[in-house]
Structure 1
C-alpha cells in the first residue's frame, strides 16, 4: 500500500449519508434541496456521496431546509463537517498508518460508544506496550521492526481517548478466554502484565470488560471479530471487520443493525462482569508459576 498523506475519509462518508437520509425524510429531491440553499443538484450530490467537503455553516443551512429543530443534530453534524478533513496526531506516523487505519482512529476519536468482540486478541485500546509489540510483530507479514515499533506506539497513543476529559467513549469489550491464555516465549511476563492492565482498565467508569468462557454456548461471535462504533445524534454506527489484508467497513443501517443484535447475544453468552474479572485475576495469578 503506498505511503500517502493520511486524511480520514470515513467522516465525510458518514456526514454525506446522514445528510442524504435527512433529506429523504424531509421528502425533498436533490433538485429541491439544492435550490433551497442556492446550489445546483450536482454539488449536493457530491456532498452526499463524500466526493466534496461542506462547511459547517452550509450544513446548518441544509438542516434548516430539512426542517430540523434538534440542536444536538446541528451540533453533531456541524462538528463532523468541521473535522471531515482534519488530520489528527496520527499524521506523525503517516509512513506506517495507512488510510483505513487512520479512518478507524478518527472513528474512535468521534465515538460515543465502542463495542468490541475480540476472540483472539486483547482489543487495541486495552493493550500494554509489550503486548502490542509482540502481537503486531508476530502477526504481520510485511512490516519492518521499525514499523512494528511505530505501530505499537500508535496503539498506545490511541488509548488516550479512554481518559479524555469530557468526551470519553464508553468501551464495552468482550474477550474470549482463549486470548487470555496466550504465552510469549521471549518475554513470559507479557501476558501477566496484560491481564493486570485489563483489571486496571476495568476500574475506569467508561470501561466494561467481559470474558467469553472456553465452555460457552454457541453464539454469533463464533463467526469472527468485529468492532461496533456508535456516535451521538443522528450519525450512523459503523462496524469494522479486520483480517490479515486490512479493514472492511459496514456503514449501512441494515448491516450495522445485524452486528448490534449479534453483540447483544454475545454479551448475553459471556460471563458476567464480576465473574469475568474474577477469571482474569485467577489467570493472572496463574502466570506466577
Structure 2
C-alpha cells in the first residue's frame, strides 16, 4: 500500500507534542528556548500549529530544533524522526487533483486506514459510488462545466483503488440510510444499487438503515470512523463549510457508541441485500 504523507504528518505532530509534554515543558518555554538557541523563526503560534497538525510540509530544521530542546540524543531515534519528517513532506497522488479535492486531508487518511466505518444519511458513500452516480451528484452541487465534472469523477474513481479486490486496503462497513437510496437519480439507480450489492465481500459490507427505524442515534448527520494499524482513530464529518476531524478519545468513544446504535437499528446484511434487490427488482 502507498504511504500516506497525511498520516505521517499527523503522527509526527502527535509525537512531538508527546515529547514536549513528557518533558513537562510549556509551549512558551519551548518557543523561548528555540529563539535563544537561534533555531530559526519561532512563535508560540508556530509550535501550536505544528502540534495541531496545521502544517503542509514539515521542515526538517524545525524538527531537529525541537529534538535538541527535548534532548533526544539517541542517533537511531533522531533518525526515525527525520525519516518521518521527510515522508510527511512528500506529496500524495491527490495533489494532482487539488483543484477538486483541495489539500485532500480526508483522502490522505483514507488511503492508509485499517478500517472505515461510515454512516451516510443522504448520499452514497464516496468509496461506493459508481461513475454515473458521482457524475450526477457533482452536477447537483452546481458544477456545470463538463470538464470540471469529469475531474471530480476521475478523482472519486481514483479514491476507489483502495477497495479493489486484492488491494491491501481497509475493511469497509457502510450503513446507508434509506433516504440516500431514494435520492439516487432514476437514470443511474439500477447501476448504483447493483454495484452496492455486487461489491460486497468479507471485508466490505453494506447495511441499509430503513425509514421504519424512525428516529435513531445519528439523526444529527453522517460521519465516518477511521481506524489505523499504528495510530489513534479519527472521526470525520463534513458540512457545506468545512471538513471536521475529531481525535479526542472522548469524541472517538462517543462516535463509536453512536455507530453501534445505528448498526443495531439497521437491517441485517442479508435483509439489506434483499432491500437493495427490491429497489431494482420490485415484485
Bin of the TM-score, shorter chain as denominator length: 0.7 to 0.9
Question: Which residue number corresponds to residue 161 of structure 1?
Answer: 162
- Deviation at residue 118 of structure 1 after TM alignment: 0.2
Render the CA deviation track for 1:78-128: whole Å, top value 9, x for unaligned.
9864532222222222322212xx111101112111111101111010010
Does 2:273 match 1:268?
Answer: no
Task: Look up the SS of the partner of 2:212 in the other structure.
Answer: coil
The more displaced of 223-232 and 80-89 is: 80-89
TM-score of the superposed pair, with normalisation by structure 2:
0.76
Per the alignment, residue 228 of structure 2 pairs with: 231
CA distance in 2, matches of 1:157, 1:92: 11
SS at match of 2:99: coil
Give unmatched runs, 5+ long, in structure 2: none
Give RMSD over aligned pairs: 3.7
Aligned residue-pair number:
260
Matched-pair contact (CA < 8 Å) for 2:127–2:156: yes
**Distance (whole Å) between structure 1 residues aligned to residue 127 and residue 168 of structure 2:** 16
Structure 1: which 5+ runs fail to align?
Answer: 1-6, 68-73
Higher alpha-carbon Rg:
2
Change (3 A) 1:47 1:54: farther
Greater mean alpha carbon deviation, residues 45-54 or residues 249-258: 45-54
Q: Which moved more, 1:8-17 or 1:261-270?
A: 8-17
Tell me if structure 2 keeps the 8 A contact 1:217–1:269. no
Q: What does residue range 34-113 of structure 1 map to in structure 2 within 5 Å?
A: 45=47, 47-50=50-53, 51=55, 53=58, 81-99=85-103, 102-113=104-115
CA–CA distance in structure 2, aligned partners of residues 246 and 141 of structure 1: 17
Deviation (angstroms), 1:159: 0.5
Q: 1:128 to 1:285 in 2, by over 3 A?
A: same
In the TM superposition, what whole-angstrom CA distance separates every residue of 1:238-267 from its partner, at most 9, and x where no partner exists?
A: 222122234222233322322122111111
TM-score (norm 1): 0.74
